[in-house]
Amino acid sequence: MQQSPHERRQMEALLDFYCASGVDCFLGERPVDWFNLTSEHAAQRLQTRRPPPPPHTGLAESAPAANLQHPAGVPSQMAPAAPPVSPAFAAPQTGQNPGTGQPAVLPDREIIAAARDLAGSAATLEDLRRCLESFDGCNLKLTAKKLVFADGDPQAKLMFVGEAPGRDEDLQGKPFVGRSGQLLDRMLAAIGIARASVYIANVVPWRPPGNRTPTPQETEICKPFIKRQIELVNPDVLVFLGAASAKTLLGAQDGIRKMRGRWMTYPGNGREIAAIATYHPAYLLRSPLEKRLSWRDFVSIKEALVTNQSA
Ligand code: URA
């Protein structure tokens, strides 16, 4: 369709508005037949775009007014009447979390600060789980079935951190229980370690819809919780499964090919924790030849544990 420069500018302004409002994903869990929307459906969808009440983070204030402004020059029929809820975040029809009935929130700095305060207030892992259960600042919670907090031994010397749960994890409420998790279990068994003796968690504890990559905002909101989880477990050895978790928690810039297999340190609670990144098991399922390099990493992980134990 041919667009005039004016229409194009209007469209760009509208997209800017969506970005500023925190709408950063166009992926929904259910397909929408846009050619077959009845007026009733359309009215219901509009209903989901009413301004949400103040966010239910339990701590955060409502989103800054600036987020709610329409950009200048966007005609009213194009600009949403209220901050739109990302299709990825909004539950179909109502815009409410089917589980809790909570409305979606716009990710902003205040929510990240609230997440930090809340995570910092947790004195134990069980506290932290409760904090996450009560935290409504991350919209992924709206579409996820379960919180995927952690699995394994809270006293473990070895801790793994992945990126975000997938479908199987979301159904069971446990990290790494799907095909990648089964591969991880076999890799652990290969170095003589039982899954039950390690601790496994993810940076993001709710499944992103359709297994999409978590957005930077979602990651930032969840980061304080995984950092606190690491502090509370206080392992001797920390393993990042895939580049995403290493980048989030170490601020590393390199890609996983460069980063994997190199020992680094993670700033723990008053001490440096030995940390290493290795390929994500999901990647190994797609690229089985790379298992050779992962095997080296796992041998090195076992050595580091043994060295730590005898030190
Ligand atoms: N991939 C992850 O990063 N985490 C899981 O829990 C499962 C798959």
pLDDT tens sequence across 158-168:
999 999 999 99
Does pLDDT of 108 surpass 60?
A: yes
> Are 58 and 118 a contacting pair, CB within 8 Å?
yes
Looking at 39-53, 210-224, 230-244, which range is the least confident one?
39-53
pLDDT tens sequence across 258-301:
999 999 999 998 999 999 999 999 999 999 999 999 999 999 99
Interval between CA 175 and ligand 1 midpoint (Å): 6
pLDDT in the model for residue 309: 85
Residue from 187, 202, 241 whose mutation best tests the ligand 1 pocket (most atoms within 8 A of CB): 202
Interval between CA 12 and ligand 1 midpoint (Å): 35
Interval between CA 203 and ligand 1 midpoint (Å): 9
Looking at 61-75, 87-101, 225-239, which range is the least confident one?
61-75
Is 3.60.20.30 the CATH number for 109-310?
Answer: no
pLDDT in the model for residue 1: 57
* Domain limits, the chain: 28-50+80-104, 109-310
How much of the chain, in percent, has pLDDT values that exceed 70? 68
DSSP 138: -
Interval between CA 109 and ligand 1 midpoint (Å): 26
Return the HEC string of 56-108.
CCCCCCCCCHHHHCCCCCCCCCCCCCCCCCCCCCCCCCCCECCCCCCECCCCC
Angle at the Cα of 166 (from 147 to 275), degrees rounded to 5? Answer: 85
pLDDT in the model for residue 3: 75
Q: Which run of H or of E encompasses 143?
A: helix 140-143
Does pLDDT of 181 surpass 80?
A: yes
Interval between CA 212 and ligand 1 midpoint (Å): 12
- Mean pLDDT across the chain: 80
Does pLDDT of 102 surpass 90?
A: no
Tokens of 48: 């989901």
**Mean pLDDT value across residues 216-231:** 97
Q: How far apart are CA 119 and CA 115, in angstroms?
A: 6
Q: In terms of DSSP bridges, do strands 264-267 and 272-278 run parallel, antiparallel, or are they unpaired?
A: antiparallel
pLDDT in the model for residue 101: 54
Does pLDDT of 169 surpass 70?
A: yes
In ligand 1, the atom with minimum distance to the C-alpha of 180 is: 8
| Residue 45 C-beta-side C-alpha neighbours within 13 Å | 12
Residue from 145, 151, 169 whose mutation best tests the ligand 1 pocket (most atoms within 8 A of CB): 169
In ligand 1, the atom with minimum distance to the C-alpha of 242 is: 3
pLDDT in the model for residue 84: 36
pLDDT in the model for residue 177: 98
pTM flag (> 0.85):
no
Q: Which run of H or of E encompasses 3?
A: none
Q: How far apart are the two ends of the chain, measured CA to CA in Å?
A: 69
Residue from 149, 151, 163, 278 whose mutation best tests the ligand 1 pocket (most atoms within 8 A of CB): 163
Band the pLDDT of 25: cuts 50, 70, 90: low
Q: In this structure, is the dihedral angle defined by the CA atoms of residues 206, 216, 237 and 281, taken in order, positive or negative? A: positive
Does pLDDT of 147 surpass 60?
A: yes
